């Protein structure tokens, strides 16, 4: 496994693969790798000749300095995990390599998608994500990129970024990986104390409750209220939102597939989760 810390090193290591026309897969990460990331790497390994993993804690997408400072970092462990998965190349740039002194250019995927839910809770967050991902696409020039369904709104933002900036890149969305009790894996779970874990499990339970309402023929509003009730009745959980939205636009569902999305604070961890539900009938129109 090779490690590039600068664009020049990355170019040199990619050259032979680009020249040979090999299919390159990019898995963008902020490190703190867990089984969710490893599932993306495995999907990339299955589909591509060369897998590039980027590890970069992107300051631009943090709206809270403390959150950035508290973000878990362990390059040695991450590199070891990537190596074990057979990753060919890791791009591990320092902040100054990604954002040279004086850089002021950013990429914005416009509202309404980026203003609602996670965008409302973390203003500017999706500008930071779109900017760093565009820069990674430009640097790596992948044929395919791999993202987790766990961050469903981020997936919708990247889908628009790829389409509207005409990147010739396939977006592969991999299923959310959960632990044995249903908690969606996230680097933020490391902030949960053992006592807070039962509260964190209420997110998945709330989604399942919402799904039951919809598949039983209930309305979107009833599903949203049910999810909120499940979250708010769990001690130690402060719900932020519980919504049923269109999976691509994050506006009101138009029928067919509905995305149930929730966010809640459990202790110091702001957790998000989601579930795609196929509507049984014409329940999409409010």
**Residue 93 touches ligand PAF, criterion: CB under 6 A:** no
**Site stretch for ligand PAF (CB under 6 A), options 72-80, 115-123, 125-133, 212-220:** 125-133
Mark residues 135-164: x for contact with ligand PAF by CB under 6 A, - for none.
----------------x--x----------
Please check whether residue 122 is in contact with residue 3, taking contact to mean a CB–CB distance below 8 angstroms.
Answer: no
**Site stretch for ligand PAF (CB under 6 A), options 66-74, 104-112, 126-134, 236-244:** 126-134
**Site stretch for ligand PAF (CB under 6 A), options 27-35, 85-93, 111-119, 222-230:** 27-35
Q: Could you tell me the smallest distance in angstroms from the CB atom of residue 87 to ligand PAF?
A: 15
**Residue 92 touches ligand PAF, criterion: CB under 6 A:** no
Count Cβ atoms below 10 Å from residue 79 Cβ, excluding itself.
19
User: Which position among 4, 45, 58, 199 is part of the footprint of ligand PAF (CB under 6 A)?
Assistant: 58
Which CB, 36 or 210, lies closer to ligand PAF?
A: 36
Mark residues 251-280: x for contact with ligand PAF by CB under 6 A, - for none.
------------------------------
Q: How far apart are CA 234 and CA 204, in angstroms?
A: 12
Q: Could you tell me the smallest distance in angstroms from the CB atom of residue 56 to ligand PAF?
A: 6
Between the two ends of the chain, the Cα-to-Cα distance in Å is 52
Active-site pick, 7, 19, 37, 204: 37
């Amino acid at each position: 496994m090779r490690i590039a810390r600068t664009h020049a090193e990355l170019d040199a290591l990619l050259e032979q693969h680009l020249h040979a026309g090999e299919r390159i897969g990019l898995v963008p990460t902020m490190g703190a790798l867990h089984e969710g990331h490893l599932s993306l790497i495995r999907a990339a390994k299955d589909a591509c000749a060369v897998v590039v993993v980027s590890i970069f804690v992107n300051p631009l997408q943090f709206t809270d300095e403390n959150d950035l400072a508290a973000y878990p970092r362990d390059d040695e462990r991450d590199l070891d995990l990537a190596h074990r998965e057979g990753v060919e190349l890791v791009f591990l740039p320092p902040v100054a390599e990604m954002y040279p002194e004086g850089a002021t250019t950013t990429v914005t995927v416009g509202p309404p998608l980026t203003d609602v839910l996670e965008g409302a809770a973390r203003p500017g967050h999706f500008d930071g994500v779109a900017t760093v991902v565009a820069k990674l696409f430009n640097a790596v020039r992948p044929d395919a990129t791999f993202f987790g369904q766990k961050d469903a709104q981020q997936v919708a933002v990247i889908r628009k970024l790829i389409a509207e900036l005409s990147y010739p890149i396939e977006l592969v969305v991999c299923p959310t990986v959960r632990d044995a009790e249903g908690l969606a894996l996230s680097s933020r779970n490391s902030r949960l104390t053992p006592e807070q874990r039962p509260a964190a499990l209420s997110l998945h339970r709330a989604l399942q409750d919402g799904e039951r309402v919809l598949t039983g023929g209930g309305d979107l509003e009833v599903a949203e209220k049910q999810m909120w009730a499940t979250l708010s009745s769990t001690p130690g959980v402060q719900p932020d939102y519980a919504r049923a939205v269109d999976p691509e636009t994050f506006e009101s569902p138009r029928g067919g597939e509905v995305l149930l999305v929730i966010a809640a604070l459990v202790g110091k961890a702001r957790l998000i989760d989601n579930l795609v539900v196929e509507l049984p009938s014409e329940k999409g129109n409010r």
